Amino acid sequence: MQGVYLKIGKLSSVVPDSLRFCFDIVSKDSAIAGAKLYIEEIPVTALCKSCDNHWTITGPAFSCPRCSSGKIELISGQELNISSIEIEDDSNCEQSSVNS
């Protein structure tokens, strides 16, 4: 395995640096030694159910900046997903997608 691609939301309780640190330790001397970890940090975005405003939340405030409504829905920011893995190209393999 050459790489693992993760999507980690900013509101999740996972710290990318710590994850990287642990991944290097755990993967060393294993079947995936040398694999790189690619982390896409997903911002916290929200939709206001009162006025349809769509914005990015950057601080500890969860109400609509346009109309102050508290009726909001978080659209992104809590992900902890493996989006894909990168493996060595083998000329006998066909391209494939695996969805779980």
* CA pair distance 19, 17, nearest whole angstrom: 5
CB of 70 to another protein, least distance (A): 2
Determine, following the binding rule CB under 8 A, whether residue 76 of this chain makes contact with another protein: no
Rule CB under 8 A: choose which of 18, 25, 58, 98 binds another protein: 98
Find how far residue 64's CA is from the centre of its chain.
24
The pair of three-digit structure tokens given for residue 18, joined into one six-digit string: 């710590």
User: Which residue lies nearer to another protein by CB, 29 or 59?
Assistant: 59
Q: Where are the beta strands (DSSP E) in 1-99?
A: 3-9, 36-42, 44-48, 54-57, 72-76, 80-86
Position 89 contacts another protein (CB under 8 A): yes
Residues forming the site for another protein (CB under 8 A)? 5, 11-13, 60-63, 69-72, 74, 78-90, 93, 95-100
